[in-house]
Amino acid sequence: MNMASKASALQLLERVQARDHVKNHFIVQSIPAGIDTHGLSRMATGDAWALHDQLHERFLEKRADPSASHDEASPSFLDVKVKLARSMLGSCNFCERGCGVDRAAGKKGTCRVKATPRVSSAFLHFGEESPLVPSGTIFFAGCNFTCVFCQNEDISTDPENGMPVTPQKLASMATALVVDGARNINYVGGDPTPNLHVILESLAHQGAPAAQLWNSNNFNTIEAMKLLIDVMDIWLPDLKYGNDSCAKRLSGIVNYWSVLTRNLKFVHDEMVVRGYASLVIRHLVLPGHVNCCSIPTIEWIAKEIPLAMVNIMGQYRPQHEVLTRLAEFKEITRRPSFEEIDSVRALATRLGVTWKPVS
């Protein structure tokens, strides 16, 4: 097993983006499903999940074998993932809001995102973390959070923003970004989670050797995490809050801490420790929230997922609903002070958290 170390966290991020590094989704596509297309289409969901879990173990074995063949199989492990994602869409549980609506039939949950995703924009981004640029960002409309300080409100609060995309069109966008020089394909928004089914299906049409990057609030169900864990090379999740009460008040989310820490630990222990994927956490320092959010977050990362890197972000500014509800959100009507940002970074340094290369 290729065990990563804290000193090699940045090297791992560079390695998974190298053009000659076999990307995880290509390995997934090379693993035979062990059943024909007709049989897979008729397979019960419970049986498909059992098959999926078996194929995940096969993925871990094959990822560890540098001499393994990566010829595409049909149907493949990816086809199993697509089948399960489409099944989940019928009673949507991609995220832990658990709306359970039939999005395949046109129903809408909290995110209000239709079954066909809409992309607001796709371009080479030079403002992401420096080891990631140029990043091929694909911004999806709509979000499952309701952050009162949202800085992408035009995209997040309007699921009709942009243009509809099929899996083939999404893959074409990704390929064009790689041709233009993208080091990675960065699924962002809004949030990409409501569009998981189309993102997975698009991978079958992507031939360019670019790292796949999940840039999300990461409020996913464990089922969604299982579908994503084998195909993403880089994880770029937010971890804003150090408790549930702040998450509920500012983003309308319940059980935030338990869900986020579960999902981040899953990525870290299943993929990062093995050296199969890189994890860069974004922590936005909120004014007045150092003690309740920043300190618990940095302490948890240092203890539980030490191979993660952390972007300690100081660019918060009052936006969106904060500007019209000043009395209600008084503590976040200002920018964070230099002292607040520096105190969080000093804590990270003391605890051995890697933050400088990505902040």
pLDDT averages per 10-residue partition of the chain, 359 residues: 65 96 97 97 97 98 94 97 97 97 96 97 97 98 97 94 98 97 97 98 94 98 98 98 98 98 98 97 98 98 98 97 97 98 98 96
In the prediction, which pLDDT does 5 show?
Answer: 62
Pairing of strands 163-164, 118-125: antiparallel
In the prediction, which pLDDT does 208 show?
Answer: 86
- Cβ atoms within 10 Å, residue 133: 16
Nearest to 313 by CA among 228, 240, 254: 240
In the prediction, which pLDDT does 306 show?
Answer: 97
In the prediction, which pLDDT does 4 show?
Answer: 59
Q: pTM, whole model, 2 decimals?
A: 0.97
Rounded Cα distance, 68 and 62, in Å: 6
Domain coordinates in residue numbering, the chain:
6-358
Reduced to 3 states (helix: H, G, I; strand: E, B; else coil), residue 213 is strand
In the prediction, which pLDDT does 1 show?
Answer: 37
In the prediction, which pLDDT does 331 show?
Answer: 97
For 127, residues 6+ apart whose C-beta sits below 8 A from its C-beta are 133
pLDDT tens digit sequence for 69-97? 999 999 999 999 999 999 999 999 999 99
Rounded Cα distance, 212 and 348, in Å: 27
In the prediction, which pLDDT does 33 show?
Answer: 98
> Which CATH number fits the domain 6-358, given the four candidates 3.40.50.970, 2.40.50.140, 3.40.50.620, 3.20.20.70?
3.20.20.70
Q: Is the alpha carbon torsion for 235, 257, 200, 135 positive or negative? A: negative
Rounded Cα distance, 83 and 137, in Å: 26
Nearest to 280 by CA among 347, 186, 205, 189: 186
